[in-house]
């Protein structure tokens, strides 16, 4: 009996100690900035601006009037990418994300590699929050500010005028898509991070209070002016720039020689989680008024930090574009416990021949390209496709798509070897949950 009691005591002690150790174990941490490859520190060549001061907007060249929407900052590195000259990155901020500190991580990443960065503040300061709603005027102000910046002697003597690149976040992505059609300086590449092309996803109470009378750019027609490579990046948790918006914009770029649409998901395996919401491309709240931050929080937007999403997705994609590539070898790395971070998915690629699925009839709405393979519901959701939400499909010659009404390739099915513009006729509209492509 004594032996039994001792044995039970030992077992109980082991269980209690194991529980304490387990409970006190820290959750895995996310990967940091890589040391090599796109998004890394590998190509850093300087740590200051040309004037010897720290890489900070207070030390950058600035001109214009903030309240008039003509303010602009120019960052010139102390060491230029090409020795005597440097490529230029024009960075267009999100709506009322007007101060450079919001994007200071990415700006510093570019400057440290020897790139010149131009940051036009196209909104009319915080005072324009209730009245500055004409996107055509915003774009015109941004274009004029960039033209002025390029004419500055300090810039003109250093900039490679044949290598100007455009990057935009949120509404800045909208402006970027329409840049060429409105007469903006010719650019070599365009990289769009969570671009927002319509106010439709903004909560009605926010639209009525702050965005009444918005005049939206006609991106569907203006995007035809793009004749350079373009990269789209979106997140499945983005409630503002939804996947269907990016799909629509992607289709509108009919004259882009190459275009790719990437999408990624939130990964909550560890702490802090890696968000894919609308402000994931931001690295700082950057002096944003509390009212703006509260509005963003009410819309489920809270990703104001420089983290693995920035290093390994946003920075990497722009680095690749500056290197002449739209096909990015994203390396999302691993959590500290060795688990791989969820991958970046290619929703569409202009050079890939694959089955393309669409949210709406007539080949509209959110789209995703599916190469040969098997796609469960979870795999489809990684592309931003919701369950029971598909309505049309394009199947290129030589390919076959088998669609199933249930997950894991179960339930009723149908084989498609040609395009189907609407599943209504087949009784499958908004009923598909898994697909096999052969």
Provide the greatest CA pair distance for the chain. 93
CA torsion, ordered 145, 91, 79, 228, to nearest 10 deg = -100
Whether the Cβ atoms of residue 107 and residue 92 lie closer than 8 Å to each other:
no
Are 88 and 160 within 8 A, CB to CB?
Answer: yes
Give the C-alpha separation, 241 to 218, whole Å.
16
| Rounded Cα distance, 90 and 163, in Å | 11
Over residues 350-401, the pLDDT tens digits come to 998 899 999 999 999 999 999 999 999 999 999 999 999 999 999 999 999 9
Q: What distance lies between CA 66 and its chain's CA centroid?
A: 27
The CA-to-CA distance between both ends of the chain, in Å, stands at: 67
Other Cβ atoms closer than 10 A to 307: 19
Of the listed ranges 5-9, 258-262, 298-302, the least confidently predicted one is: 5-9
Work out the mean pLDDT of the chain and round it to a whole number: 89
% of the chain beyond a pLDDT of 90: 79
Beta strand segments in 197-253, E: 230-235
Nearby residues of 126 by Cβ (< 8 Å), 6 or more positions away = 96, 98, 289
Please state, in angstroms and rounded to a whole number, the distance separating the CA atoms of residues 434 and 432. Answer: 6
Q: Which of 89, 105, 116, 243 is nearest to 172 (CA)?
A: 89
H or E, element range at 10: helix 2-24
What's the pLDDT band for 185 if we cut at 50, 70, 90? very high
Alpha-carbon gap, residue 106 to 40, rounded angstroms: 11
pLDDT tier, 304 (very low <50, low <70, confident <90, very high otherwise)? confident
Separation CA 412–CA 424 (nearest Å): 15
Entry field: residues in the chain: 438
Residue 126 binned pLDDT confidence (cut-offs 50, 70, 90): confident
Q: Strand ranges (DSSP E) for 134-174?
A: 159-169
Domains of the chain: 61-322 (3.40.50.1820), 352-437 (2.60.20.10)
Helix (H, G, I), strand (E, B) or coil at 412: strand
Sorted by sequence, the CB contacts under 8 Å of residue 238 that are 6+ apart come out as 194, 276, 277, 278, 280
**Ranges 160-164, 242-246, 316-320: which has the least confidence:** 242-246
413 has pLDDT over 80: yes
Q: How far apart are CA 428 and CA 435, in angstroms?
A: 13
Residues 307-350: tens digit of each pLDDT: 999 999 999 999 999 999 999 999 999 999 999 999 999 999 99
Separation between Cα atoms, residue 288 and residue 94, nearest integer Å:
12
How many Å apart are CA 265 and CA 382, to the nearest integer? 6
- 136 vs 143: CA distance, rounded Å: 11
Tokens of 111: 């400057």
Strand 230-235 to 259-264 pairing? parallel
Gap between the Cα atoms of 65 and 261, Å rounded? 36
């Amino acid at each position: 009996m004594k032996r039994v009691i001792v044995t039970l005591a030992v077992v109980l002690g082991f269980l209690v100690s194991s529980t304490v150790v387990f409970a006190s174990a820290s959750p895995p941490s996310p990967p940091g900035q890589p040391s090599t490859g796109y998004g890394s520190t590998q190509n850093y060549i300087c740590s200051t601006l040309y004037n010897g001061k720290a890489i900070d907007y207070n030390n950058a060249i600035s001109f214009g009037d903030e309240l008039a929407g003509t303010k602009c900052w120019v960052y010139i590195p102390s060491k230029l990418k090409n020795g005597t000259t440097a490529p230029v990155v024009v960075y267009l901020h999100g709506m009322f994300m007007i101060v450079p500190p919001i994007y200071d991580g990415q700006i510093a990443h570019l400057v440290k590699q020897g790139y010149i960065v131009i940051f036009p503040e196209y909104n009319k300061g915080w005072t324009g929050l209730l009245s500055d709603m004409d996107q055509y005027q915003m774009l015109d102000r941004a274009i004029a500010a960039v033209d002025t910046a390029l004419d500055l002697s300090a810039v003109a003597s250093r900039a490679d005028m044949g290598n100007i690149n455009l990057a935009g976040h949120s509404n800045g992505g909208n402006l970027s898509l329409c840049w060429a059609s409105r007469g903006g300086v010719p650019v070599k590449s365009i990289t769009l991070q969570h671009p927002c092309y319509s106010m439709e996803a903004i909560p009605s109470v926010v639209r009525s209070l702050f965005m009444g009378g918005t005049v939206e750019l006609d991106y569907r027609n203006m995007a035809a002016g793009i004749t350079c490579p373009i990269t789209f990046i979106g997140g499945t948790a983005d409630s503002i720039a939804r996947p269907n918006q990016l799909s629509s914009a992607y289709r509108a770029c009919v004259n882009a020689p190459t275009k790719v649409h990437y999408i990624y998901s939130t990964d909550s395996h560890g702490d802090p989680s890696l968000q894919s919401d609308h402000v994931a491309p931001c690295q700082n709240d950057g002096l944003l008024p509390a009212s703006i931050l509260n509005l963003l929080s009410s819309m489920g937007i809270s990703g104001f930090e420089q983290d693995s999403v920035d290093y390994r997705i946003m920075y990497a994609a722009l680095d690749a574009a500056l290197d002449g590539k739209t096909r990015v070898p994203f390396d999302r790395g691993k959590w500290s416990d060795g688990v791989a971070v969820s991958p970046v998915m290619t929703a569409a690629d202009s050079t890939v021949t694959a089955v393309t699925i669409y949210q709406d009839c007539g080949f509209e709405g959110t789209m995703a390209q599916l190469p040969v393979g098997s796609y469960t519901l979870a795999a489809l959701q990684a592309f931003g496709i919701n369950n029971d939400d598909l309505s049309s499909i394009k199947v290129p010659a030589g390919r076959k798509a088998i669609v199933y009404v249930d997950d894991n390739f179960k339930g009723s099915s149908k084989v498609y070897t040609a395009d189907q513009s609407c599943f209504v006729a087949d009784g499958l509209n908004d009923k598909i949950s898994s697909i096999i492509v052969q």
